[in-house]
Amino acid sequence: MDPRPPTETPVLGRRERNKQRVRERLYAAAIELFVDKGYDHTSIDEIAERADVARGTFFNYFQRKEDLISAWTERRRWDLVTVLAEAQNQGDSPIEQLTRCMAALGQLNQDEHELTVAMLTAWVKAGRPILEEPYVADIFAQIVKAGIAQGELSADLVPQHVGNVLRDVYLGALYRWVSEPEVSHTGALTEELLSILHMLFGGLAAPAGQQPTGSQPTNSQPVKTHPAKTPPVRRAEPQSVGSA
């Protein structure tokens, strides 16, 4: 899967634009209610009323309430994909890309604290950590694969294994952050994620003398492991449109 978002947004007709607006109203209404009342205590009737549409209209866009969890995770995925694309366009090294993506994950949750608490709880209860494709792990794995090819990361690494480890690190830190109210309104999540990532760099960095895959031997320089500066995360627009 190419992690880069489409460079061009297709032009939509009036009917499709109207559908997209209704879908967005339903999603926004649901998110507001989940933050105010919690996912479990919000009904489809309440979502439709808040969005000012008929109850039946909801099912034209979401088959069930759980589909809103999928919509939330999909938006998070596009946010992360956008960050990675920007890092690649700026010529960041793979280690800098890993740092930028991990920092972005922390910032996304910190910027939407109440929503993260509500949706993460629903996400876990719905069994999504087991059922969903581990997109975060896949994105990390692609960066690691590029780092190996460029000689920046150890050739002994298995990219998907490293991606899984980094995803586990992220989710473990996120669960702790959500469960500790005294620190969950601070930047502690991003700080912990970056601290763990920097500790891992010592084991991930290529040994001195390792050459990029397929290259001729050259004088090797030590791997730079300091974090990249991470700009504010820009939200990506969702790419899908609900069916009529």
Name the burial class of residue 39, with classes exposed (0-12), middle (13-18) and buried (19+) by CB atoms within 10 angstroms of its CB: buried
**4 found inside a domain:** no
The answer to whether residues 41 and 99 belong to one domain is no
* pLDDT tens column, 21-54: 999 999 999 999 999 999 999 999 999 999 999 9
The CATH number of the domain where 36 resides is what? 1.10.10.60
In a domain, 1, yes or no: no
Asked if 21 and 116 sit in the same domain, the reply is no
Tokens of 229: 């500066």
User: Is there a single domain that holds both residue 95 and residue 137?
Assistant: yes
- Is residue 53 in some structural domain? yes
Same domain, 224 and 123: yes
Residue 2 belongs to a domain: no
Q: Indicate which CATH number applies to the domain containing 219.
A: 1.10.357.10
Q: pTM of the prediction?
A: 0.72
109 and 228, same domain (yes or no): yes
Residue with tokens 């960066």: 143
Is 126 in the same domain as 179?
Answer: yes
* Digitized pLDDT (tens) for each residue of the chain, 244 residues in all: 444 455 555 666 878 888 999 999 999 999 999 999 999 999 999 999 999 999 999 999 999 999 999 999 999 889 888 988 998 889 899 999 999 999 999 999 998 888 998 999 899 888 888 877 788 999 999 999 999 999 999 899 999 999 999 999 999 999 989 888 666 566 788 998 998 888 888 766 666 777 776 665 555 455 454 554 555 555 555 554 444 3
The whole-angstrom separation of Cα 225 and Cα 194 is 11
- What tokens appear for 108 in the block? 């996304």
Total domain count, the chain: 2
Which pLDDT score is estimated for 140?
A: 94
- pLDDT tens digits, 196-218: 888 888 766 666 777 776 665 55
Residues 27, 49, single domain; the answer is yes
pLDDT of residue 27: 96
48 and 94 within one domain: no
**Structural domain for 31, as ranges:** 11-65
Spatial contact of 193 and 101, defined as CB atoms under 8 Å apart: no
Domain annotation covers residue 137: yes
Six-digit token pair at 207? 């040994």
Judge whether 3 lies within some domain: no
